[in-house]
Amino acid sequence: MRRLRILGCLVAAFSMVGAVTALAVDPAGSPGRAQAAAEDTTLTADPMPTWQTDGIVWSVAHANGVVYAGGVFSNVRPPGAAPGEQQVARKNFAAFDATTGELLPCAPAFTGGTGSVRAMKPSPDGEVLYVGGSFGTVTTGGEETAVSNAVAFDTADCTLRDDFRPGVAATVRAVDATADAVYLGGDFPTVDGQPRQRIAALGPAGALLPFRATVDKAVRAVTAAPEHGKIIIGGDFNTVNGASVHALVSLDPASGNTNQTFPGWIEPRSVVKALNRDDTNFYLGAEGDGHKVFDGRIAASLTTGARKWTDICYGATQAVVPYRGALYSGSHAHNCEDTPGGFPDNNIRQHLLANSIADSSIQIWFPQTNGGLGEQLGPRAMVMAGDILWTGGEFTTVHSKPQQSLTRFPAAPDTGAPQVPVLSGESTTAGKVRLSWKASWDRDDPVLTYRIIRDGEFYKSVDAQSRYWDRPTMGMTDTVPSNSTHRYSLEVTDGDNLSGRNGPVSVTAR
């Protein structure tokens, strides 16, 4: 990707256009391009080879260079393998090298309950992986252990810890871990036989802590910020600790008392599906029930709890993860017309998006999956593993190619070339050849360079900004001797990758 240096090139190109329009190039496109280009600092939208599962991935976690995937599946298979081919048994849990993507031998099987791994999070030091879901048995090395919806593993050797073994009375849907506590959220009424209504805290070694809050409906997301005095939980609920609180609340990390509410943030028919944080903000993803009910994302200060922005793109959000100035999300966004840089309601479900953390604007990062299995909502889970974004979910394709339930996108290198547009040419004025084409687009670059080849040699290039829903018609006028014939071709580059060549078209000047 050509990042910040694009700005200078673009300004130069348009200055030239303004001065000599008649001789060179149309300023095809809209204002604000240079600004948008300067802000573009995303990951690439080019998927790396990734193993696949034969069912839905509900959770991904990263610790010490290992990515864990949990969900509802029976087998995994290598990148490129068709369903049923080259399968390796993995029951609802699998581990991969975060960088090479290779399958690792760590393979506890989760069965019983509904046989679903729903949430995973490592301890802050990465030594322990906490796993929650709906399961009653974990099988490791042929040995079955009776458990109750939440367990922990030592990441060094993938052994099931025998100390963290809470009796959680129903599905665990969210986990976060601090140095002092492991917070579980879900559907349950009790933990270890004690009242712990849909949220509970345990010590790192499994002792039930006094932290207690009563929540009336499912907790679907938890993000712990004990240094800010906050355990932020999200879900379907309408009552917390006896008071009317919808979908989002902050609790005291030790007592579970409510210490902040966020009235008006989440409308009544919307619920919180995802929470995440960085050093300064917390982020949420919402799912609304109905037409134009809040489906988007919110960024807010961890220190004050003050909201920084709300992005109301429609198409429910299932996962959010911040990384280097952008908030990456999994959704089925289909209408982002009210978000800066967003797209109109265009019948496309954009399953992967990036918002600027600074101002919420939609970044030029448009990798794509399909909806896939289950509710057909595409991505369900995201985690950064170093500089690689791992995504799991319901999808069965990535960029229209078969790839089931797992994929990943690195910070570099950019390997995706834009498609070359069709070039047409004509001459209606003596000594002038008019060339035109419709702008191409790129999944992770806002500005592309169009190169005209004349009579087999490079002639001239022009930069233009485009997005897949906004592709301007471009043109160039060449001045040549009357009655001379010339052959023109077009190619386009994102700065790293050159398209194929379209043409040549042969034009005889009038």
Residue 463 within binding range of Ca ion, rule CB under 5 A: no
**In whole angstroms, how close is the CB of 449 to Ca ion at the nearest point?**
12
**In whole angstroms, how close is the CB of 448 to Ca ion at the nearest point?**
9
Which of 394, 444, 478, 491 is the binder for Ca ion (CB under 5 A)? 444
Rank residues 1 and 312 by Cβ distance to Ca ion and give the closer one.
1
Rank residues 45 and 435 by Cβ distance to Ca ion and give the closer one.
45
What's the length of the chain? 510
Pick the piece of the chain touching Ca ion (CB under 5 A) from 77-85, 150-158, 441-449, 477-485: 441-449
- The residue nearest Ca ion at its CB is 494
Rank residues 311 and 494 by Cβ distance to Ca ion and give the closer one.
494
Q: How far apart are CA 325 and CA 331, in angstroms?
A: 19
Residue 40 within binding range of Ca ion, rule CB under 5 A: no
Contacts of 401 (CB under 8 A, 6+ apart): none
Give strand ranges (E) for 64-123.
Answer: 66-72, 75-77, 88-89, 93-97, 109-111, 116-122
Asked if residue 358 lies in contact with residue 365, where contact means CB atoms within 8 angstroms, the answer is no
Structure tokens at 435: 């060339």
**In whole angstroms, how close is the CB of 1 to Ca ion at the nearest point?**
6
**In whole angstroms, how close is the CB of 379 to Ca ion at the nearest point?**
20
* β-bridge partners, 174: 185
* β-bridge partners, 110: 138
**In whole angstroms, how close is the CB of 452 to Ca ion at the nearest point?**
21
Rank residues 50 and 499 by Cβ distance to Ca ion and give the closer one.
499
Which of 39, 40, 176, 442 is the binder for Ca ion (CB under 5 A)? 442
> 25: closest CA among 481, 435, 485?
435
Put residue 341 in one of left, alpha, beta given phi > 0 → left and psi -120 to 50 → alpha: left
- Cα four-point dihedral sign 229, 233, 239, 240: negative
**In whole angstroms, how close is the CB of 495 to Ca ion at the nearest point?**
8
Which of 494, 502, 503, 507 is the binder for Ca ion (CB under 5 A)? 494
**In whole angstroms, how close is the CB of 101 to Ca ion at the nearest point?**
21
Pick the piece of the chain touching Ca ion (CB under 5 A) from 28-36, 135-143, 342-350, 410-418: 410-418
Rg (CA), the chain: 26
> 456: closest CA among 405, 387, 510, 504?
504
Residue 445 within binding range of Ca ion, rule CB under 5 A: yes
Residues within window 412-431 making contact with Ca ion, judged by CB under 5 A: 414, 416
Secondary structure of residue 444 in the 3-state scheme: coil
Pick the piece of the chain touching Ca ion (CB under 5 A) from 34-42, 153-161, 213-221, 443-451: 443-451
Q: What phi and psi, each to the nearest 5 degrees, are found at residue 335?
A: -155, 105
**In whole angstroms, how close is the CB of 491 to Ca ion at the nearest point?**
15
How many residues bind Ca ion (CB under 5 A)? The answer is 6
Residues within window 161-200 making contact with Ca ion, judged by CB under 5 A: none
Site of tokens 């939980």: 233
Q: How far apart are CA 100 and CA 79, in angstroms?
A: 12
Q: Interface with Ca ion by CB under 5 A: which residues? A: 414, 416, 442, 444-445, 494
